[in-house]
């Protein structure tokens, strides 16, 4: 059970979150240069829907500051260095005003490799204008070729985080591009621009929707990617996961790992341990010897 990117944008508390029961924590999104993000207000709780809408815009302290914090942790001198169990991934992105966004991702790979247990290439946020264009055919191939060239032998695995707002044929195109360029896993999926029926007065706010209303769409996208890649490319499920039953459904649909964030807003950080215990119970109940044995068996 992992903590999705967006909570610890600047790598300030990954160890503490691991200490609260998450098996892995993804910090970021981190961009080469610091940036303030979009104007406020930019984050909205949709309490009646158990959801969140955000248009944060990759607000973060920049690579140098995050690198310094995570390097201190690696040396055992950081404020959270006592929490050593678990993995810390780094989600990398491009600056809003960048003239060469592909170069920003290359810089992210090169800068964060020494302190990351894995790197997540985020081209699916809806809150940086034009960013999702990098999911299109030619630009995607160019991006993946560039980040692949920037990798070092023995470096951290490289994941690709995709949007849930996809058309027919996108799943095959994205999957084949990822496989062709040595991507190690897909994270399915980011927030959505779609608006299912919502009760909250904030329902019309612009930005990416996460939380419970995203769940059915994210699960459908996971199944569609699994139908394309089978077991050839690991899938990490995120979006609308709030219980052990939600997590188990994603495992059975083909996810090897799950992440969450919005559910923690409403249920607190103890959710990680509750879901982990619930998954262990379901493995035993359904006669599997391990989580990995259940992946894709639904």
Cα separation, 257 vs 128, whole angstroms: 27
Is 175 part of the annotated catalytic residue set? no
CA–CA distance from 7 to each of 40, 64, 76, 190, 191 (Å)? 17, 19, 23, 14, 14
Catalogue the E-assigned strands of 31-95.
43-46, 51-54, 87-92
Helix axes 101-112, 137-150, angle to 10 degrees: 30
Pairing relation of β-strands 185-188 and 158-162? Answer: parallel
Cα separation, 145 vs 108, whole angstroms: 14
Pairing relation of β-strands 24-30 and 2-3? Answer: parallel
Cis ω for the linkage preceding 41 (within 30 of 0): yes
Dihedral angle at the C-alpha atoms of 115, 269, 246, 123, nearest 10 degrees?
Answer: -40
Dihedral angle at the C-alpha atoms of 158, 87, 244, 16, nearest 10 degrees?
Answer: -130
Of 79, 81, 95, nearest in space to 35 by CA:
95
Q: Is 14 exposed, middle or buried (0-12, 13-18, 19+ CB in 10 A)?
A: buried
Cis ω for the linkage preceding 80 (within 30 of 0): no
From 124, 125, 210, 262, the catalytic residue? 125
Of 123, 20, 21, 9, nearest in space to 70 by CA:
9
Q: Which residues are catalytic?
A: 125
């Amino acid at each position: 059970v992992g903590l999705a990117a967006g909570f610890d944008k600047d790598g300030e508390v990954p160890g503490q979150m691991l200490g609260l029961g998450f098996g892995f924590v993804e910090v970021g999104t981190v961009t080469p240069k610091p940036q303030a993000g979009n104007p406020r207000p930019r984050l909205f709780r949709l309490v009646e829907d158990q959801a969140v809408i955000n248009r944060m815009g990759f607000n973060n302290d920049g690579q140098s500051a995050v690198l310094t914090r995570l390097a201190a942790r690696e040396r055992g001198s950081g404020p959270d260095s006592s929490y050593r169990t678990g993995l810390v991934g780094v989600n990398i992105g491009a600056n809003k005003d960048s003239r060469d966004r592909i170069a920003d991702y290359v810089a992210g790979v090169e800068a964060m490799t020494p302190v990351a247990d894995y790197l997540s290439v985020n081209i699916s946020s809806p809150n940086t204008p034009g960013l999702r264009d990098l999911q299109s055919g030619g630009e995607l191939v160019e991006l993946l070729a560039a980040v692949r060239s920037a990798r070092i032998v023995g470096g951290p695995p490289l994941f690709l985080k995709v949007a849930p707002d996809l058309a027919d044929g996108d799943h095959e195109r994205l999957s084949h591009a990822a496989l062709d360029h040595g991507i190690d896993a897909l994270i399915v999926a980011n927030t959505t621009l779609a608006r299912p029926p919502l009760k909250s007065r904030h329902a019309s706010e612009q930005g990416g929707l996460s939380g419970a209303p995203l769940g059915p769409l994210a699960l459908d996208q996971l199944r569609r990617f699994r139908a394309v890649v089978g077991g050839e490319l690991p899938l990490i499920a995120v979006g609308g996961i709030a219980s052990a039953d939600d997590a188990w459904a994603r495992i059975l649909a083909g996810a090897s790992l799950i992440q969450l964030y919005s559910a923690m807003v409403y249920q607190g950080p103890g959710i990680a341990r509750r879901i982990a215990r619930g998954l262990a119970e379901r493995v035993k109940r359904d006669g599997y010897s391990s989580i990995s044995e259940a992946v894709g068996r639904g």
